[in-house]
Amino acid sequence: MRETVEQAGRATAQLMRGAALALVSYLFIGLLLFTAFATVLVVGAGVLPETVLLLRRMAGFKRRQVAAWTGQPVPEAYAPLTGELFERVRTATRDPGTYRDLRWLFAHFGYGLLLAYGSLIVWSFGWFVDGVWCGLLRRPAVVLPLVSRLADLDAAWSGALLTPSPEARRSAALAERVEELTVTRAGAVAAHGAELRRIERDLHDGAQARLVAMSMRVGLARRAFDKDPDAARRLLDDAQHQAEEALTELRHVVRGIHPPILTDRGLLGAVRALAASSGLDVAVDADGLEGEDVPRAPAAVEAAAYFVVAEALTNAAKHSGSERAWVELARTAGRLRVVVRDEGRGGAETPAATASGTAASGAAASGTVAPGTVAAGTGGGMGGSGLLGMRRRVAALDGIMEVTSPAGGPTVIEVELPCAW
């Protein structure tokens, strides 16, 4: 009997929450009328998208209620309300999800209150009938379990009204994917522009400046050649030194664009070279990447993985305070997995989005790195911009990047890149 009463109590609470939402729906009908009038007058059209968003929140609350009661999530499918006002209004009026939610809103106003009142009636009889039936005759309860049936009915009707059709789900998924790719493309373009500016800056401040200095020394040496051969020789020596430094700067710029070692030795060999020159004790584990017969990943995938490892190790050496790091490369079905881990201070902050091509990814605002903490993969000490740059590079390939860096460490960067082996 006790279990029956407890279950009936939970069902009643579920129905009362539904009744409260039904009353809110009644008030919402007035807002709908105001929105329709304002939209017809055009000047108030901006209210429509906000009203639709509020309607979506109400429907989402009911979906969570149904999922909590049944244990089965109720899917949703909406077209994103983004862009200019006209585009948002058009999307709100054409989205099938809007009319599906309106249909549920009006229906739930009726059956939500009706089922809640029904549960109160069942309780009024159940206390007496089941009290005698169970207490005196020791039989299973027959009335109070009906409250749970009413809650099941409410969940079934709401789930049926709120579940989008397969076509609507595909359409919403396609719209979400288009928006995600738009954000990813914008991030990739921004990353490309930043890379071009970095190359221009490196050439201007490095190789170009040294070549100008070398040209000036050669000119001075030619003028002094007849009058002071020793001075001319010294100037030519300085010019040769400037030329060597300019070549070094150019090699550095070339490695920043696409490291030659990546082309010559492949990803595993290039990562091992990075590990050897990082200044840390780095262990490199490879799964499925060793052997002469192993196919190589596409060049863009190898470059993205290489730069993720390079930036993570660079910043671990500069900021983490750790002397060791681990790099794991793994080949899986259709993917390349990269994990970089150090045992440093942790605390690196990262943009909230997952670069899954998740939107999140490259679109997020620049991350920040707390002072004195490991800037996991922040790209040569550039703070959060390096994390964002890594996310954009990964997102451009429709990959996934996650950064875990609790205070006190460890810092772990996990990247998965789609790869056709």
Q: What is the DSSP string of 162-190?
A: HSPPHHHHHHHHHHHHHHHHHHHHHHHHH
Q: How far is CA 230 from the centre of its chain?
A: 64
- Compute the mean pLDDT over every residue in the chain, rounded to the nearest whole number: 77
Q: Is 401 left (phi over 0), alpha (psi -120 to 50) or beta?
A: beta
Residue 334 has what pLDDT?
Answer: 85
Residue 329 has what pLDDT?
Answer: 92
Residues 209, 215, 221, 223: is their CA dihedral positive or negative? negative
Residue 353 has what pLDDT?
Answer: 39
Rounded to 5°, the CA angle 375-377-378 comes to 60
Q: How far is CA 202 from the centre of its chain?
A: 31
Q: What is the average pLDDT across 370-390?
A: 43
Mapped onto helix, strand or coil, the DSSP state of residue 404 is strand
Burial class, 340, CB count within 10 angstroms (exposed 0-12 / middle 13-18 / buried 19+): buried
More confident residue, 173 or 371: 173
CA distance 157 to 174: 27
More confident residue, 374 or 45: 45
80's tokens: 């994103």
Statement: the pTM of the whole predicted model exceeds 0.75 = no
Mapped onto helix, strand or coil, the DSSP state of residue 77 is coil
Residue 361 has what pLDDT?
Answer: 35
- Report CA Rg, the chain: 33
In Å, how far are 16, 51, 76, 107 from 21, measured between CA atoms?
A: 9, 16, 19, 12
The string over 157-186, giving b where at least 16 C-beta atoms fall within 10 Å of a residue's C-beta and e elsewhere, is: bbbebbbbeeebeebbeebeeebbeebbee
CA distance 78 to 95: 7
Query: Does the pLDDT at position 383 exceed 70?
Result: no
- Neighbouring-strand partners of residue 286: 329
The model's pLDDT over 223-262, given as tens digits with 9 standing for 90+, comes to 888 788 888 888 888 888 888 888 877 777 766 666 777 8
Residue 136 has what pLDDT?
Answer: 61
CA distance 108 to 104: 6
CA distance 232 to 41: 85
Cβ atoms < 10 Å from Cβ of 215: 12
* Confidence label for 320 from pLDDT (cuts 50, 70 and 90): confident
Map tokens 């490369």 to a residue.
329
